[in-house]
Amino acid sequence: MRGNAIHPPSDEELNVYIRTRYQLLGVDISVLPESDPDAPMDQERLLENGRSILRQEVVAADFDIDPQFNLPVPHPAPFVAWTEEVEQ
């Protein structure tokens, strides 16, 4: 549960975070047009998508899953075949 002092960040705050993160990793998004619906991509759409991804972090964090019974598995289909074999 989040404390009362924590408020969801605004779009502007997230935009600063996103730009900073890209800048830190050496990715320059300023070469894109600011806002141009006819361009394949523009900064406005990119930031909108980035904000959506960041807000989904909260959904993932809030999802309650038993860590003892649900190990992270990148390729589950083959893994389950093996474990079911053990149980037979």
**Residues forming the site for other proteins (CB under 8 A):** 18, 21-22, 25-29, 31-32, 40-41, 45-46, 49-50, 53-54, 56-57, 59-61, 63, 65, 67, 70-82, 84-86, 88
Q: Are 29 and 19 in contact (CB under 8 A)?
A: yes
CB of 68 to other proteins, least distance (A): 11
Q: Are 44 and 11 in contact (CB under 8 A)?
A: no
CB of 36 to other proteins, least distance (A): 12
Alpha carbon distance 84, 88 (integer Å): 6
Alpha carbon distance 76, 82 (integer Å): 10
By beta-carbon proximity to other proteins, the closer residue of 1 and 27 is 27
